[in-house]
Chains A and B, each alone.
Chain A
Amino acid sequence: MTDFPKIQTVGLSGILVSFADTMSEPANRAALSFRAAIDGSDWVEVSETSTSLVSTFLQVDLVAVPVDAILTRLNDLLDSRDWYTADLPENRTLWHIPTVYGTDLAPQLEEAANLAGLDPDAAIKELSSARVRVLTIGFAPGQPYLGELPKNWDIPRQQGLTKSVPAGALIVAIRQLVLFTNASPTGWRHVGQTGFKTFRPSSETPFALSPGDELCFPAVPRAELEKIMAHDSTGMGGAETEVLA
């Protein structure tokens, strides 16, 4: 008998199902798959669902909904399969987002490469060939936490904060990448720059990415990104997509 999955109430706002207390690929997979199963079940009591790194949150009005009935159904669903090895949800998107590594656009590539035990060229090769998953979205609207990178990228956050990195910045720490929504201070290192907008409030699809999507950041020369940006009104920054079956 393990402590997980664990079910808890969250204030009067809903129910949290946690699959672990540390980040791991299987626990993230479980959270994404379990959320998809809840969404597919159309429980009338659940008004909204979301995932954190290793948990699924169900928005439920605990004032109006008796919690016992829903707990029974949740436990039945949890017992119905091994969520840690479940298939990821269908119809996710694979994104290829052109990225400039290093240069004055992303000045901490060399520093991050050193910490990962690589020279800058080898670091670019690893980062631009990695395929990472949207582990969760948070901190800012549409902003993805992406992982996991190879073990040598388990590099710490820097001591001080960088005052501001721009929107579209690709930053790295603890085997994860983040693609910034807005200009913001950060303790993570700025290794790449894209022209991709994760949040497009006036668009029909205001949030580009969904949890579970996968992303690649192919390296392009600075001149190419500048050329893309000169003609981009979509926020895509030259990104291409394919559907993951």
Chain B
Amino acid sequence: MTATLTIAQAGPALTIQDLGRPGWRAQGLTKGGAADPIAVYEGAALLGQSPDLAMIEMIGTGGTFTADTDLRIALTGANMTAKIDGEAIVWNASHSLPAGAKLTLGGATSGTYGYLHIGGGIASDPLLGARATHLSAGLGAALQSGDTLPVGVDKGGDTGFKLPRDGRFDGGVVRVVTSMQTDRFALEERDRFANTPFTRDPRANRMGVRMDHDGAGFSAEGGLTILSEVIVPGDIQITGDGAPFVLMGESQTTGGYPRIGTVIPRDLPRVAQAPAGTKITFEFITLEQAIALETQHRRDIKALAGQMTALIRDPSTIRDLLSYQLISGAVSGHETFEKDS
């Protein structure tokens, strides 16, 4: 029997996501996928499972969920109020959700995109090789109250671990490399862009995030007459009114507005997660600096499991005890071992 998760009450913007659907750009379909991939890797680490499994992405607020089987869950991304049968539970952590218990996820208290991960993943039918909902392309649809979702087979593991939170929910400095049209902007215009404090506009979705600022709009030499060209996630296009618009994973594949730069991948979740009104500035860095930063980021993602700590420091935690009896230094104590599964 397939385990199922039922959405008793759905917030307005819940979708099934994964790491996206690469390979279709030439056909006009962008990769899409979770707006905050860091949160995807955190959920995978907390549950000791593959980051390729699908989860529920929740914009601004969550919903109420019940399962017909005992499930393991993890909550990552934007901090939301969270309760199981009325008892508060910790965000950025893994928990067990007993069959029939009511999981209630409320409004975000920091950040924008929250994630509900399930042990075994959401096992909806893949479409074009992925489960990610791509609203602008019409692949999948927002989840509704009453929907029942199949859950994959969970290979099991402990719950009750948490990960430290980083600062990506509070805006701040977002690093940018030059892109193919940066030289269409005069040097003074680029300097002004890098020295302007922006606030995240309320107009934002999975396609892109608009930035507000005081003062004149930004403009390229030759204006808006450039030929439509490929878009990659993080591209900052300057639209007709002079406002920067950071393009996210679910944008169109090509666009005719000039791009002043491209947000580096590790800082794109910082743009996505910034709530409306949050302060953001952009800093140009060299390609070499960006490569070094991304290389380090990929190492950090791989090492996430080692960052986990038990929610309650209890000496009777079996997994912790076991770790003392294993080969020292080779494991963090949180991995799932082949002989266990």
Contacts and interface: CB of A to CB of B under 8 A. Distances in A.
Interface of A: 8-14, 16, 18, 21-23, 35, 47-55, 57, 59, 62-63, 67, 136-143, 181-182, 199, 201-202, 206-207, 210-211
Given A12-B290, A62-B291, A52 B230 contact: yes
Contact of B232 (A10, A47, A52, A211): A10
A10 B262 contact: yes
A51 B26 contact: yes
B180 A16 contact: yes
B175 to A, nearest CB: 11
Contacts of A202: 127
Given A13-B232, A55-B230, A137 B287 contact: no
A59 B290 CA distance: 17
B295 interface: yes
12 contacts: A9-B177, A12-B264, A13-B233, A18-B180, A50-B26, A63-B295, A136-B228, A141-B28, A141-B138, A181-B28, A201-B128, A207-B29
Interface of B: 22-29, 127-128, 137-139, 177, 179-180, 226-230, 232-235, 252-254, 262-265, 287, 290-291, 294-295, 298
A138 B291 contact: no
Given A11-B234, A50-B253, A201-B128, A137 B265 contact: no
B26 A211 contact: yes
Contact of A10 (B22, B26, B230): B230
Given A13-B233, A52-B228, A201-B127, A137 B294 contact: no
Q: Which of A8, A18, A182, A210 has the most CB of B within 10 A?
A: A8
B177 A12 contact: yes
Contact of A12 (B29, B230, B265): B265
A22 B291 contact: no
Contacts of A11: 177, 179, 232-235, 262-265
Contacts of A49: 26
B128 A206 contact: yes
Q: State the 8 A-B residue pairs at the shortest beta-carbon distance, nearest first.
A: A11-B262, A50-B26, A13-B232, A138-B254, A207-B27, A50-B25, A63-B294, A141-B29
A230 B84 CA distance: 52
> Could you tell me the dominant secondary structure of chain A's interface residues?
loop
A2 to B, nearest CB: 17
A137 B27 contact: yes
Contact of B137 (A21, A62, A141, A210): A141
A207 B262 CA distance: 29
Given A13-B232, A63-B295, A140-B28, A52 B180 contact: no
B28 A142 contact: yes
Contacts of A14: 232
A63 B290 CA distance: 8
A54 B226 CA distance: 12
B25 to A, nearest CB: 4
B285 to A, nearest CB: 11
A137 B28 contact: yes
Given A11-B265, A137-B27, A206-B27, 12 more contacts: A9-B177, A11-B264, A12-B287, A16-B180, A23-B227, A50-B230, A52-B229, A59-B22, A59-B25, A141-B137, A181-B28, A182-B138
Nearest to A6: B180
Contact of B230 (A16, A62, A139, A201): A16
Contacts of B226: 21
Q: Which of B138, B254, B291 has the most CB of A within 10 A?
A: B254
A143 B229 contact: no
A50 B229 CA distance: 11
A143 B265 contact: no
B22 to A, nearest CB: 6
Contacts of A182: 138
Nearest to B254: A138
A136 B254 contact: yes
Q: Which of B25, B28, B180, B235 has the most CB of A within 10 A?
A: B28
B26 to A, nearest CB: 4
Nearest to A15: B180
Nearest to B22: A48
Contacts of B291: 12, 62-63
Contacts of A21: 226-227
A108 to B, nearest CB: 22
A138 B264 contact: no
Nearest to A182: B138
A180 to B, nearest CB: 12
B36 to A, nearest CB: 18
B232 A141 contact: no
Contact of A22 (B25, B179, B227): B227
Nearest to B252: A139
A142 B232 contact: no
A57 B137 CA distance: 21
A9 B254 contact: no
A57 B229 CA distance: 9
B294 to A, nearest CB: 4
Contact of A53 (B25, B139, B227, B262): B227
B58 to A, nearest CB: 24
